[in-house]
Amino acid sequence: MNSTDERSGRETRLLVLVIVVSLAVLLLLARFKFPPVGLTAGPPSPGPLDKLAARATYDDLAAAIAAVVQRVEPSIVIVQVDSPPPEEKEKERGKERGKEKIGPVPPAPALSPRLLPAIRLRPDIALVHVPAGMRVSPAQGFSGPTAVFATDPKREIALVRVAPLPDSAAGLPSAFERFPGFSYVAVIEAAMGGPSARPAFIGRLDTSVDDRWQPSPLLIGGASEASAGSLLFAVDGRLIGMVLPQFGTLAVVPPAALNAVVVELGGGGTNGGGV
């Protein structure tokens, strides 16, 4: 065998060795699973010229709010609520009359259907505000919850079952503990195609005593720019709370209180990653 053949044979052996070792190590390392994190594909980075262009502060705020929507989208489920039909209302009222001996009540005007954002607090359970006299109705024209898990008329909320996310912990929002107020936040509201958002300034927040919630909600001072049922997120994507009616005004119910209600209604404890 001449030196060229020897050399060629050595090179082929080297090639085979390198490939076999690489494959073996890759297959070995592929046996490990990466811990799940909620990272989803986002839009491309802004181009180099975009970064140089003069930007108004409002542009930065708009970009921050858009980024929040993109980040929290897996945590939000759109739920439709509407008034029950008159005969169902009458049946309900009849039950109450039988129980509490209350007199006949004139029928309330029917409320038009509304879309509200539900916050996913477990991989398959989301919490939504259901105003008094309304109920969760089947989604029409969009993918909504699969079923109602529990309702709590006293707190004006309901737990709905939603399609679980692929990763058990991904999509559950992280909580903003003790939001101090006097800050711009993203108000998440519902739209047909998914969550929408707008910036709002939240000023003074005062702790109110309300035995329905533990810890206590925070009353929003002044005229609120958020509506009942909307969700407040910090610009870094952490959940500040859900805006719910309280004492004729609006209050922010913090994530810990929402979580406690889920446990109380049988939605189970947290399983990591969420509030």
Nearest residue (CB) to other proteins, 15 versus 102: 15
CB of 188 to other proteins, least distance (A): 22
Structural contact between residues 263 and 127, judged by C-beta atoms closer than 8 angstroms: no
> Any idea which residue has 């195609």 for tokens?
193
Taking CB under 8 A as the binding criterion, the range among 41-49, 131-139, 141-149, 154-162 that sits at the site for other proteins is 41-49
Of residues 179 through 208, those in contact with other proteins by CB under 8 A are none
> What residues from 7 to 26 belong to the interface with other proteins (CB under 8 A)?
7-8, 10-12, 14-15, 18-19, 21-22, 25-26
Q: Which of 2, 48, 54, 272 binds other proteins (CB under 8 A)?
A: 48
Shortest approach of other proteins to residue 19 CB, angstroms?
5
State whether residue 172 is helix, strand or coil.
coil
Distance CA 35, CA 181 (A): 34
The strand pairing partners of 189, in sequence order, are 196
| Binding piece for other proteins, criterion CB under 8 A, among 4-12, 103-111, 194-202, 218-226 | 4-12
Report, in Å, the least distance between residue 1 CB and other proteins.
14
Task: Provide, rounded to whole angstroms, the least separation between the CB of residue 142 and other proteins.
Answer: 21
Binding positions for other proteins, 143-172, rule CB under 8 A = 167
Other beta carbons less than 10 A from residue 269's beta carbon: 8
Q: Kindly indicate which of the ranges 48-56, 185-193, 247-255, 263-271 contains the residues binding other proteins, using the contact rule CB under 8 A.
A: 48-56
Shortest Cβ distance from residue 33 to other proteins (Å)?
A: 6
Residues 95, 199: Cα–Cα separation, whole Å: 44
Map the footprint of other proteins across residues 52-71, applying CB under 8 A.
Answer: 52
Number of residues in the chain: 275
Find out whether 117 and 195 touch, Cβ atoms under 8 Å.
yes
The enclosing H or E element of 23 equals helix 3-29
Neighbours of 186 (CB within 10 A): 27
- Span of 39-47, 110-118, 225-233, 240-248 interacting with other proteins by CB under 8 A: 39-47
Work out how close the CB of 271 gets to other proteins at its nearest, in angstroms, rounded to a whole number.
18
CB 79 within 8 A of CB 139: yes
Positions in 224-253 near other proteins (CB under 8 A): none
Among 1, 2, 5, 45, binds other proteins (CB under 8 A): 45
Per the CB < 8 A criterion, the answer to whether 269 and 239 are in contact is: no
CA atoms within a 13 Å half-sphere pointing along the CA-CB vector of 189 = 12
Residue pair 265/159 in contact (Cβ under 8 Å)? The answer is yes
- 191 with 108: CB under 8 angstroms? no
Which residues would be at the binding site for other proteins (CB under 8 A)?
Answer: 3, 7-8, 10-12, 14-15, 18-19, 21-22, 25-26, 29-30, 32-34, 36-45, 47-49, 51-52, 167
